Amino acid sequence: MKAKTKTNIKKAVSLAILALLASLAFIPLYWMVATSFTQPSLTMKFPPDIIPKNPTLQNFKDLFERKIIFRWTLNSFIVAGTVTLAQIFVCAMAGYALAKKKFPGSKAIFSIYIASMMIPTQVTLVPLYILVSKLGMVDTYQALILPAIAAPFGVFLMRQFMVSLPTEIIEAARIDGASEFRTFAKIIIPISKPALAVLGIFTFMGQWNSFLWPLIVTNTSEMRTLQAGLSLLQEQVPMQYSYLMASATYSAIPMIIVFLAFQKYFLKGITVGAIK
């Protein structure tokens, strides 16, 4: 009886600690949304109102009056969506080859992928921009999309997942006369859905939030992505915090929707690699 009571107490304490940590993590998101509905004259009030008094939609109205915001949103959807689909396809094929195919140099190639993950992105910006500039792709969708397709993390994630897949099902497909591509498309891809969903979520969120590279490689306002474009608003209205929080809330909505839509695959993908 005492042991059961101690166990219940430990569970209660653990849940309380987790609830506290979750609440602390939720505070910045709540404050961003609350400030976006706050009247501009009240954003600097001290002490601040935890729940906005007389909430208003004027900040969002002012934001959407800038028609360029919809072009930035479209650009972000095009770039994030295209990179996500392309990366899922490319990384799945590369991961399958490195996990289940034996060919000269496979271990060296995988080691190079691992090593490239240790290089900070900022180090590659200058040579990458020079390459893109010489190819004449500055201020184009190609410059925003192509450098992100074969991501080392994506290849690493898919390779590590596919190593755990039983080789017997691949050999059985070959015995039945399935071609290499048919085996990959009809057997490997369906089994790998959890890992592909995790990769898709990470990739979409990473590309949607990408700021530095789109800012560097685009010159005109029409080619900016949403995050790069919103940085221009911060320069134009530096002290209008409610307006800036409204733009941040707007930019966060697609990420929240994507995460909630694929949450079950995301949670399954975290644990499925540990189970054969």
DSSP output for 220-233: SGGG--HHHHHHHH
pLDDT in tens, 232-262: 777 766 667 888 888 889 998 888 888 788 7
Give pTM, 2 decimals: 0.83
Residues in the chain, how many?
Answer: 276
Whether residue 165 contacts residue 240, with contact meaning beta carbons closer than 8 Å, is answered with no
pLDDT in tens, 43-68: 777 777 778 888 888 888 888 888 89
**C-alpha distances out from residue 94 to 117, 174, 276, Å:** 16, 20, 21
- Superfamily of domain 67-272 in CATH is MetI-like (1.10.3720.10)
What pLDDT is attached to residue 276? Answer: 44
Task: Please report, for the chain, the start and end positions of each structural domain, with discontinuous segments joined by +.
Answer: 67-272
pLDDT band at 73 (very low <50, low <70, confident <90, very high): very high
Sign of the Cα pseudo-torsion (270, 272, 273, 275, in order): positive
What pLDDT is attached to residue 75? Answer: 95
pLDDT in tens, 26-38: 888 888 888 888 8
